Amino acid sequence: MAEETQEPARHGGAHAVAAARRHGVSTMFTLSGGHVFPLYDGAVKADPPMRLVDVRHEQTAVFAAEATARLTRAPGLAVVTAGPGVTNAVSAVTSAWFNGSPVVVLGGRAPDYRWGSGGLQELDHPPLLAPVTKRAWTEHQAGAVGTAVDEAFRLAAGPHPGPVFLDFALEALFGDGGAELPAGTAGRGAPAGPDPADVAAIAGLLARASRPVLVLGSDVWLSGAEVAARAAACELRLPVVANGQGRGVLPPGHELLVTRARPVAFGSADLVVVAGTPLDFRLGYGEFGGRDGDGPAQVVHVADSAGQLATHRSLAASAAGDLTAFFTALASAVPAELGRPGAPARPAWTDSWLPRLTAAASQAIAADQALLASGADPIHPMRIYGELARLLDDDAVVIGDGGDFVSYAGKYLEPARPGGWLDPGPYGCLGTGLGYAIGARIARPGSPVVLLLGDGAAGFSLMDADTLVRHRLPVVMICGNNGIWALEKYPMQALYGYDVAADLQPGCRYDEVVRALGGAGETVTRPGDIGPALRRAFGAGVPYLVNVITDPAIAYPRATTGV
């Protein structure tokens, strides 16, 4: 096809692509199907063309879009074909729903003119997607596709962010939408700040607290409040426990970072202020205090929007609205409360509570060192993290997909910067790995991307190492290969005294899978070989899987399975 004769496309697909671009989208993650061809044609013929990354499972496409959203804090885009393309995407859409990730999923759909006659993949998708999206609907008119996609992106990115699903009747996508494509950049309204009275109430509680703790969750990063949160914590000298993508808001070794002193911090606090994360199972459902004769703690919940505030437990106070505005206001409101009736002239917690937590955190970190350097053979999984921590750049993106293997990482790898740690979040869906790695590699072209895979987790998405190879996306993959589904095997043994359906192939060569797909890798069985293998992986410049055979007898010391 001669370029000079190429007409700009004007079908619904071209309108959809132009509208997505207005919202900053530069990559479309997808798996092919005839129902969505106009979206590809629109991407190819856009000026400049939109990058297409074609993957091996729709779930991977949506996970990649979600990783983009979680790392860039701008909406990600996935395109899936009608019927099975959409249903295959559902677990990943649900993960984005639980994580509050702005993701737009555009779906193909059987034509309206034959609806009800048994067309290929004729399924009404929105009712399936409605419970796990901010909105799920169908656009039927070609001329309205651009407006509908614009609306989808606005909704996805608005507070509280989340996935949006939109499918198009075949006629709408293939039909003529007109010559005028959506243009320019979509403006974003400034988010509303919290009610000053709510901030004042929280400041009053803090000024009167003896043993407060501030919890910083993923939404602190996702809403761009990490600088204000750090400033407020430092200004008020509040001990901080970090969660999810909030990890790294305070760097490792910071005197206020007491995540490793969690049992004391949560058990003995008299006030816990939780910002930017739900009071879910990861935070003991918001029940704090009560340790060693201490009374229950008062709980404050702060969220980016009112709908996110906990309703399952009573709160001493709460605030909803832009988190940057919240932290900025809090930093000046607390000093104003000090010295008022019932409040000391200076914060009560800096004398003994903060030093107690700092000491407990340092002690826990010191106690890890032996296992992080473990010479045990078979390999103790913590030795992998001891080796990895030495090689990680500050701007690395670390992704965890697995059971016990990733629990170790969550506890012992402390990210240097916020946003760089991607776990599946509260939906706990195995299989995020390759999709997150693909999205991360594209969103952070200058940063090392490390994917930690349990051997069980690897089975869900490892075929997408092929996508890494085809699209030249070098990622370091580390498989913690214990030959079992450890996070299920040990709990089942504890409950029943035996286990079933919990064994995998011992020593399976997942590195050979990646090699067969065109990448590289190796298997490591001795602790001293881990470091050199990881160095080879970081230097390889191609997708590389280090398959570390670990000791299946080691179970992560877990207080609860969350069930």
Ligand X SMILES: Cc1ncc(C[n+]2csc(CCOP(=O)(O)OP(=O)(O)O)c2C)c(N)n1
User: Residue 524 belongs to what H/E stretch?
Assistant: strand 520-524
| DSSP SS3 for 13 | helix
The entry of Mg ion, ligand X, none that residue 457 binds, CB within 5 to 8 Å by partner kind: ligand X
DSSP classification of residue 503:
B
Candidate ranges 8-16, 142-150, 246-254, 477-485; the one touching Mg ion (CB under 5 A): 477-485
266 binds ligand X (CB under 6 A): no
Which position's Cβ is nearest ligand X? 454
- Given the complex with Mg ion, which of 454 and 474 has the nearer CB atom? 454
407 binds Mg ion (CB under 5 A): no
- Given the complex with ligand X, which of 132 and 238 has the nearer CB atom? 132
d(CA 429, CA 62) in angstroms, rounded, equals 13
217 binds Mg ion (CB under 5 A): no
491 binds Mg ion (CB under 5 A): no
245 binds Mg ion (CB under 5 A): no
456 binds Mg ion (CB under 5 A): yes
436 binds ligand X (CB under 6 A): no
454 binds ligand X (CB under 6 A): yes
Q: Which of 76, 175, 217, 480 binds ligand X (CB under 6 A)?
A: 480
| DSSP SS3 for 153 | helix
Candidate ranges 166-174, 474-482, 509-517, 520-528; the one touching Mg ion (CB under 5 A): 474-482
d(CA 117, CA 493) in angstroms, rounded, equals 52
482 binds ligand X (CB under 6 A): yes
Q: Please state the closest distance from residue 502 (CB atom) to ligand X, in A.
A: 8
Do residues 504 and 460 lie in contact, with contact meaning Cβ atoms separated by under 8 Å?
no
Closest Cα to residue 509, out of 537, 479, 488, 539? 479
- Given the complex with ligand X, which of 394 and 503 has the nearer CB atom? 503
Candidate ranges 14-22, 177-185, 226-234, 483-491; the one touching ligand X (CB under 6 A): 483-491
φ, ψ at 165 (rounded to 5°): -115, 135
User: Residue 39 belongs to what H/E stretch?
Assistant: helix 37-45
Cis peptide before 160 (omega within 30 of 0): yes
Candidate ranges 186-194, 296-304, 450-458, 511-519; the one touching Mg ion (CB under 5 A): 450-458
482 binds Mg ion (CB under 5 A): yes
| DSSP SS3 for 488 | helix
Q: What is the largest CA-CA distance in the chain?
A: 80
Q: Please state the closest distance from residue 487 (CB atom) to ligand X, in A.
A: 4
Q: Please state the closest distance from residue 437 (CB atom) to ligand X, in A.
A: 15
CA dihedral sign of residues 154, 302, 197, 334: negative
Sheet order of strands, 298-303 included: 240-242, 212-216, 271-275, 298-303, 317-320
DSSP string, 372-441: HT---SSBPHHHHHHHHHHH--TT-EEEEESSHHHHHHHHH---SSTT-EE---TT--TT-HHHHHHHHH
Read off the tokens for 56: 């091996």
Helices (H) and strands (E) in the chain, counts: 22, 17
Q: Please state the closest distance from residue 555 (CB atom) to ligand X, in A.
A: 9
d(CA 184, CA 150) in angstroms, rounded, equals 12
- Given the complex with ligand X, which of 327 and 412 has the nearer CB atom? 412
**Exposed / middle / buried, residue 267 (Cβ in 10 Å: 0-12, 13-18, 19+):** middle
Q: Please state the closest distance from residue 241 (CB atom) to ligand X, in A.
A: 23
Candidate ranges 88-96, 200-208, 311-319, 480-488; the one touching Mg ion (CB under 5 A): 480-488
- Given the complex with ligand X, which of 199 and 457 has the nearer CB atom? 457
Q: Please state the closest distance from residue 424 (CB atom) to ligand X, in A.
A: 8
Q: Within 403-432, which residues bind ligand X (CB under 6 A)?
A: 403-405, 428-431
455 binds Mg ion (CB under 5 A): yes
486 binds ligand X (CB under 6 A): yes
- Given the complex with ligand X, which of 2 and 559 has the nearer CB atom? 559
400 binds ligand X (CB under 6 A): no
Q: Which of 112, 488, 512, 551 binds ligand X (CB under 6 A)?
A: 488
Task: State the number of binding residues for ligand X (CB under 6 A).
Answer: 19
DSSP string, 266-326: HHH-SEEEEESS-SSGGGGGG--B-GGGPPBPEEEEEESSGGGS--SS--SEEEES-HHHH
Q: What residues line the site for Mg ion (CB under 5 A)? A: 454-456, 482, 486
Q: What residues line the site for ligand X (CB under 6 A)? A: 402-405, 428-431, 454-457, 480, 482, 484-488
